[in-house]
A and B are shown apart, each in its own frame.
With several copies, the nearest count.
Chain A
Amino acid sequence: MAEQAQQHPDNALPLNLIEAINHALGQAMEEDDRVVLLGEDIATNGGVFRATEGLKERFGLRRVMDTPLAENLIAGLAVGMASQGLKPVAEIQFMGFIYAALEQLISHAARLRNRTRGRLSCPLVIRAPFGGGIHAPEHHSESTEALFAHIPGLRVVIASSPARAHGLLRAAIACPDPVLFLEPKRLYRLQRLPVSVDESPLPLDTCFTLRAGHDLTLISWGAMIHETLAAADALADQGVQAEVIDVACLNPLDRNTLLTSVSKTGRAVIIHEAPGHGGFGAEIAATLAGDGLMQLRAPVERVTGYDCPMPYFAMEQRYMPSVERIVAAAQRTLEY
């Protein structure tokens, strides 16, 4: 695919989300030889989801490193490398295994620049597949993005389409700040869509309005964007025009786009897979209850996972927000 890209620089390539990730990684490594990859099973195996497939062959084992099995180590290595000018892109195999890396991310990656008043910096990217819906074993379906969005200094970016995955990952790698880059694994192979791989990277601090509407605002990110768009279609059939916003960057947050939309619609439904209690939807609802309050015409609805861990997969469909639940919440807001 990379070859293809080089042959027809202007062509958009048909890529699914994981192929877009793979392509963006290869592209970044070609453009900047400070970019190195590390993680578990990323070299010879090309990653358990194949995000790094072919990269060891193209760039060699010195830039595509299989680490010993230790997430705290992976994060610490990345912080050390980044502190001295490399641009490590580390893969945590599943978000459910990122917790051992939190001390490095919270206490070091997010603080190194601030702590040294700019003398050192920490331009690392931590990639992790997140979310449920693929019938995976326990701990393989987590979405705890809210934990990271609360860490000042750490950017949190979430892709929801091949094109945004490509543009946002390239931006994350180019970014001089540490970035947690979350990939909705349920979408990895959902569909191939054209990706203009040679366009400049996407901005890291703006929401993406995926659909315009004036009746209410549906706000989501990650895999749930798809249920959200489906809900918008269903609402359209009922003559309701929903605006759909992909938040994409949870920290820093583009409040303006959200406030502008809701000041227009007066109604908001926030959708995410994670448990509602203390989830990131709360921050958005709180923003609307603050600067946006006077424009609100109906209670802000949150459609989320229940306040329990993602159940083993036999029940995961019962856990995750469905199109029906989103539509029902939207209709409740329209009753005001």
Chain B
Amino acid sequence: MNTPFTTTPYQPHTRLTRLGAESNWQRLCDGYRTMVLIRQFDKKAINLQRTGQLGTYASCLGGEAIATAAGQALHDNDYFVPYYRDHATQYLRGVPLHQVLQYWGGDERGNVFPANTPAARDLPYCVPIASQLTQAAGIATKAKLGHEHAAVLATCGDGATSRGDFYEALNVAGVWQLPLVVLINNNQWAISVPRALQSASTTLAHKAQAAGIEGFQVDGNDLPAMLEALDYALDKARHGKGATLVEALSYRLCDHTTADDASRYRKASELHVAWQNEPLARLRQVLVAAGHWSADLETGWLGECQQRVDDAIEHYLNTPPAPATDMLDYLYAALPEALRAQRQALQQTAGGSHG
């Protein structure tokens, strides 16, 4: 399995030969559009935070190919278990961008994914690092018990691989032959801690051996490679062939979050080098070279993105605050007698702030 998934510098030609068919080019163009849209969204979201209209925000700059490939490779009846940088995947699963903003704006309604979309059953972003992975194994168990012919895709970062949860999830996926794919977005940093200080394992993919499952690396800045890797792993899962660990190599081109200042711990030169390898320009170059994308298409699409992002922001900013009683009304299936008085008190107290 290792050969097809290169970590060597991008080579358009090898890729093209393997991608031949029109449909593949179409898929790449769709992916490219998503990546451009999400990068614009990301920029605007950071501005919203800087101007006090959004909370702490986790940028996805540099990870667009990974999250986009995930969204493209997933089938509607698969399950997605994200971490907190998967804006592109959520978007492709059917979560409107204004809900992504609501989430980062401190509003639980951002997690109410539309019922008529593949996202309807997906888990929301998970903040406690790696704790989503054992849950993903539980969902995969449910899918297996129900003969669902569905896969579960769970994502995490390189830092997350140091948590026992990561190992426990892979281990049970191996011994129970679960339809689980764990996708590591190895962006080389866990806040200020570099990959080398997380583990001495040769690669993070090697950790699959501890669970007796297949693992491999893939160039996370290379959309075609990502699609190939995830198509393979998800298809394998759907066909009951077991779990896979996919380590996608990329680089966090942004601060950890808007609350972080990466210049405290990271060399500008390293960041500069990483930019040479960023996923959008590389894909555009290939699409253009192959005649599937052009400057005109680019300009048109940029305008379209501008519009969509502005609409999402407007929707987000114009959403009236939720009633404070929401904090009690959804905790249990039915409001317990014991909480009645508190709910009343809550209704009577003043205030509440937005964004």
- Which residues of chain A come closer than 8 Å to B79, judged between CB atoms? 84
- The minimal Cβ–Cβ distance linking B352 to chain A, given in whole angstroms, is 5
Binds B, one of A8-16, A70-78, A216-224: A70-78
Contact present for A70 and B336 (CB under 8 Å): no
Query: Which B residue's beta carbon lies closest to that of A99?
Result: B128
A72's partner among B113, B139, B168, B342 (CB-CB below 8 A) is B168
Contact present for A70 and B162 (CB under 8 Å): yes
* A294 part of interface (Cβ distance < 8 Å): no
* B264 part of interface (Cβ distance < 8 Å): yes
How far is it, in angstroms, between the C-alpha of A79 and the C-alpha of B139 when the chains are bound?
A: 9
Contact present for B198 and A313 (CB under 8 Å): no
Contact present for A119 and B197 (CB under 8 Å): no
With known contacts A139-B128, A306-B346, A117–B55 Cβ distance under 8 A: no
* B177 part of interface (Cβ distance < 8 Å): no
Contact present for B111 and A80 (CB under 8 Å): no
- Which residues of chain A come closer than 8 Å to B81, judged between CB atoms? 80
How far is it, in angstroms, between the C-alpha of A220 and the C-alpha of B184 when the chains are bound?
A: 44
- Which residues of chain A come closer than 8 Å to B142, judged between CB atoms? 80-81, 84-86
Extra contacts besides A66-B193, A76-B169, A117-B109 (16): CB < 8 Å: A66-B192, A69-B160, A69-B190, A83-B138, A84-B139, A104-B134, A108-B135, A113-B330, A135-B56, A137-B127, A153-B331, A153-B332, A308-B327, A315-B326, A318-B327, A324-B349
With known contacts A307-B342, A315-B324, A115–B124 Cβ distance under 8 A: yes
Q: Per-residue CB proximity of B89-119 to A under 8 Å, as 1/0?
A: 0000000000000011111110111000000
- Which residues of chain B come closer than 8 Å to A85, judged between CB atoms? 142
- Which residues of chain B come closer than 8 Å to A311, judged between CB atoms? 108, 326-327
- The minimal Cβ–Cβ distance linking A114 to chain B, given in whole angstroms, is 5
- The minimal Cβ–Cβ distance linking A105 to chain B, given in whole angstroms, is 11
Query: Which B residue's beta carbon lies closest to that of A119?
Result: B112
- Which residues of chain A come closer than 8 Å to B141, judged between CB atoms? 65, 77, 80-81
Q: Per-residue CB proximity of B48-80 to A under 8 Å, as 1/0?
A: 000000011000000000000000000000010
- Which residues of chain A come closer than 8 Å to B324, judged between CB atoms? 315, 318
- The minimal Cβ–Cβ distance linking B345 to chain A, given in whole angstroms, is 8
With known contacts A68-B172, A70-B164, A318-B324, A45–B264 Cβ distance under 8 A: yes
Classify chain A: how many residues form its interface, as a range.
Answer: 35 or more
- The minimal Cβ–Cβ distance linking B266 to chain A, given in whole angstroms, is 9
Interface residues of B in 123-145 (CB under 8 A from A): 123-124, 127-131, 133-142, 145
Contact present for A45 and B192 (CB under 8 Å): yes
Q: Give me 11 A-to-B residue pairs in the complex whose CB atoms sit less than 8 angstroms apart, sorted by A's number.
A: A41-B193, A72-B168, A79-B138, A80-B140, A114-B330, A117-B109, A117-B326, A120-B121, A155-B332, A314-B321, A315-B321
